[in-house]
Amino acid sequence: MSRPRPISGYPEFLPAGYAVEQKVLDALRHVFELHGFAGIETRAVEPLEVLLRKGEIDKEVFTVRRLHAEADAADEMALHFDLTVPFARYVLENAGHLAFPFRRYQMQKVWRGERPQEGRYREFRQADIDIVGDGQLAPHHDTEIALVAVEGFERLHTDVGTPPVRLHVNNRKLAQGFYEGLGIDDTAAVLQRVDKYDKIGPEKVTELLTTELGLSDAVARQCVALADIQTTDASFVDQVRALGVTSELLETGLEELVALVETAGAAAPDRIVADLKIARGLDYYTGTVYETELVGFEHIGSVGSGGRYDSLASDGKRTYPGVGFSFGVSRLLVPLITKGELQASRPVPTCVLVAVDSEDTRAEATAIAQKLRSRGVPCEVAPKADKFGKQIRYADRRQIPYVWFGTDQVKDIRSGEQVQADAASWMPAAKDLTR
């Protein structure tokens, strides 16, 4: 078999990188469960027609069918491009068994046919949280989700070493109300163009609004002027009103965004930013929207996003509004790990290598390893009996910090210190138990 060629857009980690990813997932899971979120998983595929209803995503969907199956559009399946749409279906199917408001977290891979580049992949992992109500959902949950998101990123900053973040927030009622006040009918189309602001800049957005949507230059520049507003407090209200546009929906959006910024900003100083260009391209968002940037790595783009959706899940009789946030685990980690910004302390979980002086004593070495493992010390037995110097070099190549000799000697091969030890009581330094 010839040497395989990597496929762009499908990142794979070496063991040390995978260890970092698992540490991230464990840290997020801990935060989510502290706040009462229950974990679930959903299937990888959904009906294609369901996925195509959810915004400007049709060019990015991967379809799935059996190799020799006859094409039948009515039954065509596709890999989910996020975890929110399958979660909405899950809620509808299981509503009779769920207690509302239902709080869930979900950590799975998703697939999008994007052009691969730094921070954007075709297969990637997300970690989502959502709170869903039956019929209604109190607006204070929008602030709660923002604070759980910030707490999750803060935990990653302290436990894993990821950079700190800023959570940028907006409200689609504010934007939609502003556009309606300008006399714009297709507000969703404007939101989709404004959502490209960070990628292409204000002048290009203005051009898209005039050439693709037929807006006048004056109206397009008003839309961009709104997108330019960014504050860390409620002063954005005065800046919006200075633009001279009024509507009832705009006032509702301003009121909701002020409540979130003031409450969340007081609880997480320097982490919350009102950013009126945040739109989110998917059309199921109806109120608060979030995006997150890494401080010092802003060029990567948003590493976490989400928002309020009041009508994503509905069976025609009952509606399940919700608000959620998605941590872009792969988008956060792949650039940091590949550039060496994040790494595990060693590529293997093994803390102790138990040396074997001859194959006749392998059983004794295995018994020592089992004693250590029973007390939570990760260890392995040397693969072959050999000179101790060679076994030490084997441990060094694998970056295993300790080697155990016979029944009562353990050596820290980093410092060279060797001490008497009892497998029933000896413990390594706490930092060496994990990587």
**Binding site per annotation, positions for L-histidine:** 82-84, 112, 126, 130, 280, 284-285
Closest to 127 in 3D by CA, of 110, 108, 146: 108
Q: Which residues pair with 168 in a beta bridge?
A: 273, 291
> CB neighbours (10 Å) of residue 198?
18
CA 25, CA 125: separation in Å to the nearest integer? 10
Tokens found for residue 322? 């919700």
CA 223, CA 191: separation in Å to the nearest integer? 9
Closest to 256 in 3D by CA, of 171, 180, 324: 171
Instruction: Tell me whether the omega of the peptide bond preceding residue 101 falls within 30 degrees of 0, making it cis.
Output: yes
Q: How many residues does the chain have?
A: 435
For 127-169, give the secondary structure using H, E and C.
Answer: EEEEEECCCCCCCHHHHHHHHHHHHHHHHHHHHCCCCCEEEEE
For 73, counting Cβ atoms within 10 Å of its Cβ (0-12 exposed, 13-18 middle, 19+ buried), the class is: exposed
Tokens found for residue 410? 């353990």
Handedness of CA 333, 338, 342, 348 (dihedral sign): positive
Q: Which residues pair with 410 in a beta bridge?
A: 404, 419
* Residue 358: C-alpha distances to residues 177, 308, 364, 370 (Å): 79, 65, 10, 18
CA angle in degrees (0–180, nearest 5) for 363-368-373: 120
The arrangement of strands across the sheet holding 45-47 comes to 45-47, 77-79, 63-64
Would you say 155 and 27 are in contact if contact means Cβ atoms under 8 Å apart? yes
For 212, counting Cβ atoms within 10 Å of its Cβ (0-12 exposed, 13-18 middle, 19+ buried), the class is: exposed
